[in-house]
Chain A
Amino acid sequence: FIPGGGGAAASFGGRESAALPSPAGNTGLACPRAQTAMNCRAEVLEVSVEGRQIEEAMLAVLHTILLHRSTGKFHYKKEGTYSIGTVGTQDVDCDFIDFTYARVSSEELDRALRKAVGEFKDALRYSGSDGIGQISLEFYQKKKSRWPFSDECIPWEVWTVKVNVVNLANEQERQICREKVGEKLCEKIINIVEVMNRHEYLPKMPTQSEVDNVFDTGLKDVQPYLYKISYQITDSLGSSVTTTMRRLIKDTLAL
């Protein structure tokens, strides 16, 4: 056995459970929801942070999730076997929170997440809302349909982080907030790991032709599952003011 990994593709995978209706999702999806969705896990985390902590807190959570949902690059060989590249990790210290998290060593992935989180932060701060918003990280699979129908995006796991922005009056409160948010993030990481550990549905390992339907193969050093990040800002009335979809995958599936 070679520790580099490998295996015969597409012969096993997670278990499929009974279909449940897909959760109420974001509007404006260019990729239509499948009618009979597979069991899509939905996890919700909530944090209360100060304005300047938004980015780091979101990055910590999203990176931790993606650490678990990324593999090394697949290299397909003959007879449907493949080998898997190596995923490196690095620690990131937060400047505004007493917290350190481990993320995948991939600058491309980091940039993509930072971009999304930056947009979320800007939307949150300038929308004039109470400072309540949520950012969602959705893992999906593509299912090719025949022409003229476009490909479907079937989510199988959605993580939602609800953010509540607080305003603090003085430095002492900020110092306390640093520590408290750090502790809260520790709890969130433990929650995330708990969910990951359940070993619930994961897409089957794809054959070479199917790999782009399951993984984002556009990065050069790691291979996360296909994902989308979207966010919503709610104003004080509770209705959705801004719903923005950002597509962070290389392929576009326009009709």
Chain B
Amino acid sequence: MNMDIARRGRQAIHRFSCAMDTDLNSQDRKDLDKFIKFFALKTVQVIVQARLGEKICTRSSSSPTGSDWFNLAIKDIPEVTHEAKKALAGQLPAIGRSMCVEISLKTSEGDSMELEIWCLEMNEKCDKEIKVSYTVYNRLSLLLKSLLAITRVTPAYRLSRKQGHEYVILYRIYFGEVQLSGLGEGFQTVRVGTVGTPLGTITLSCAYRINLAFISTRQFERTPPIMGIIIDHFVDRPYPSSSPMHPCNYRTTGEDNGAAYPSVEDSQEVCTTSFSTSPPSQCVFTVTKAHFQTPPPVVMDTLKVPMMGLAFSHQLSSSRLSYQPAALGVGSADMGYPVIFAGGLNAAHPHQLIVPGKEGGVPPVPSQPAHGTQADHERMVMCTPLDGALYSAATPSSSEDTETVSNSSEGKSGSPHDLLETIFVRKVGAFVNKPINQVTMASLDIPFAMFAPKNVELEDNDPMVNPPDSPDVESPLQGSLHSEVSSGSSTGNTHDDFVMVDFKPAFSKDDILPMDLGTFYREFQNPPQLSSLSIDIGAQSMAEDLDSLPEKLAVHEKNVKEFDAFVETLQ
């Protein structure tokens, strides 16, 4: 390692000589160090946020707030900042010591693959005349803008937007020598930019894998989500979670990122802090060798299942009963959510129930912070409860005019042993009974509790399945839906026959309506028969129809004034 020593010697001399030559005053020096430090932190934020799988949006503000570094509105995710600071350990990028952010992909089966390495390096070329407080600052700002642009352009971006139940994107920050060997052969490099400073030139670049061909996004789209595979991950885990296998904290004993720069080859065994970047929450966990019993340890990542417009699809099809508790976890990935509750076998960590945003514009699920006595409770603050549009404690109300069905669930975790309850509340029209189906996942001993047949009985009691003989229909829609059910269409488990295929229509915008076109299309693929066309009602003969006409006309004539008034309002 003479080379190592020689290199270090060169670094020391270089820094010394640069400082001497430039006669950088101490204020400038301090400023420059501060800039570089915050630049490094912001770089990490931009990269990680770009791999969360959702679109980023920040607002411009004409009046400076004084806290937006480099005049750019870049949010700071606290956990990411913490990890970056930990990796840097008070140092700054220098020659031979680069800050690297590694982005990798991990499938639900546990295979992982490095996708990109973003490197922030410093080289020896000093620009002595440059003004620190202005030019360097502005160029760093420009470099961050370039980073914003480039992060959307590498292949990993599209992969990260599609992450969800089959794979997730993880990141890792390390400081030291850049290791590119995990990227496979023929990886490409793109340079984001450089900024010269009196102490050296800062370079930001990205090396990315290109032989992703075998894991093209298509492959992931075509494979329907197989819930079984994900559940399998729990098979080896101890039940119940009295001692969580992976404490959601990043201060594992014996873990010291500062010292260890794990090489890529070892990453499978000694994985330092890796974080799922699936939104909206990030489960922070650390896996060390000690905990590594059965692969893959990073199970929590795979708990994410898409919530493909859960609320909306059910709002529109109240007669479809597959969303009933019976369907919990069965078949379609729509029902994946309750599976996660079952995985609240790690009941103390309900925040892991968060699901990622898939392209379907999935509304986030608010997590219930553990009220339990977890020692690392305070570290769970990172999984912030979201303003979940979907899940809120709903009370049945009888003032619903339209047919809406809202699934509401409450995760209760009052104590470490409390298990989560799911309350499904259906509001179906003003005049129909509103059953409240309470499904408790109390029996976590049964890994596949949600598949239990008991839920089917609830279905039988549901008036929607077996409508009363002559329902008082308030709206034609309700009536027609009733008739659809009673006319013997399949038992409402038609959803189960659906195989989830990602339907990417050109126009669907998931930010307007949190339900994608694919779901909408599926829901309305089989519209119910019009009541006037169905045979039961059309059993009356033509003659009877004609006979009843005069009566109807008389009634209408009586109300002619009303009709006229109505027509007036239209004009």
Q: Please list the residues of chain A having a beta carbon within 8 angstroms of any beta carbon in chain B.
A: 1-5, 7-8, 12, 64, 67-68, 71-73, 75, 83-93, 95-96, 98, 100-102, 104-106, 185-186, 189-190, 192-194, 196-197, 199, 205, 220-222
Q: A68-B142, A100-B161 are in contact. Are A4 and B56 (CB under 8 A)?
A: no
Taken together as a complex, chains A and B put the C-alpha atoms of A196 and B135 apart, in Å, by 15
Pair A190/B64 contact, Cβ less than 8 Å? no
Q: Interface residue count for B (Cβ, 8 Å)? A: 50
By a CB distance below 8 angstroms, the chain B residues around A93 are 55, 509
By a CB distance below 8 angstroms, the chain B residues around A189 are 149-150, 152-153
By a CB distance below 8 angstroms, the chain B residues around A75 are 63-64
A-B contact pairs, 18 of them (CB 8 A): A2-B66, A12-B134, A67-B149, A68-B142, A85-B64, A86-B64, A86-B72, A88-B72, A90-B58, A92-B55, A100-B161, A186-B153, A189-B150, A190-B153, A190-B190, A197-B142, A197-B143, A197-B191
Pair A87/B64 contact, Cβ less than 8 Å? no
Pair A85/B142 contact, Cβ less than 8 Å? no
Please report the number of residue pairs spanning A and B whose Cβ atoms sit closer than 8 angstroms.
Answer: 150
- Is chain B's binding surface mostly helix, strand, loop or mixed? mixed
Q: Mark B18-61, 1 if CB is under 8 A from A, else 0.
A: 00000000000001001000100000000000000001111111
B73 interface residue per 8 A CB criterion: yes
By a CB distance below 8 angstroms, the chain A residues around B507 are 95
Pair B152/A4 contact, Cβ less than 8 Å? no
Pair A88/B131 contact, Cβ less than 8 Å? no
Q: Which of B63, B135, B192 contacts A193 (CB 8 A)?
A: B192
Q: A68-B146, A96-B506 are in contact. Are A89 and B58 (CB under 8 A)?
A: yes
Q: Please list the residues of chain B having a beta carbon within 8 angstroms of any beta carbon in chain A.
A: 31, 34, 38, 55-73, 131, 133-135, 137, 139, 142-143, 145-146, 148-150, 152-154, 157-158, 161, 190-195, 506-507, 509
Nearest neighbor of A71 in chain B, beta-carbon distance = B71
Pair A86/B73 contact, Cβ less than 8 Å? yes
The 10 closest A-B pairs by CB, nearest first: A4-B64, A197-B193, A88-B58, A88-B73, A91-B55, A90-B57, A221-B60, A73-B62, A88-B60, A86-B68
By a CB distance below 8 angstroms, the chain B residues around A101 are 149, 152
Taken together as a complex, chains A and B put the C-alpha atoms of A194 and B193 apart, in Å, by 7
By a CB distance below 8 angstroms, the chain A residues around B191 are 194, 197
Taken together as a complex, chains A and B put the C-alpha atoms of A102 and B56 apart, in Å, by 9
Kindly name the residue among A3, A64, A83 whose own CB sees the greatest number of chain B CB atoms within 10 A: A3
Pair B190/A4 contact, Cβ less than 8 Å? no
Taken together as a complex, chains A and B put the C-alpha atoms of A222 and B131 apart, in Å, by 25
Q: A5-B64, A189-B153, A197-B193 are in contact. Are A84 and B71 (CB under 8 A)?
A: yes
Nearest neighbor of B506 in chain A, beta-carbon distance = A95
Taken together as a complex, chains A and B put the C-alpha atoms of A22 and B349 apart, in Å, by 65
Taken together as a complex, chains A and B put the C-alpha atoms of A4 and B60 apart, in Å, by 13
Pair B71/A85 contact, Cβ less than 8 Å? yes
Taken together as a complex, chains A and B put the C-alpha atoms of A91 and B428 apart, in Å, by 38
Closest CB-CB distance, A34 to chain B, in whole Å? 26
Nearest neighbor of A3 in chain B, beta-carbon distance = B69
Taken together as a complex, chains A and B put the C-alpha atoms of A7 and B71 apart, in Å, by 13
Q: A12-B131, A68-B146, A189-B149 are in contact. Are A104 and B68 (CB under 8 A)?
A: no
Pair A86/B153 contact, Cβ less than 8 Å? no
Q: Which of A87, A92, A95, A102 contacts B60 (CB 8 A)?
A: A87
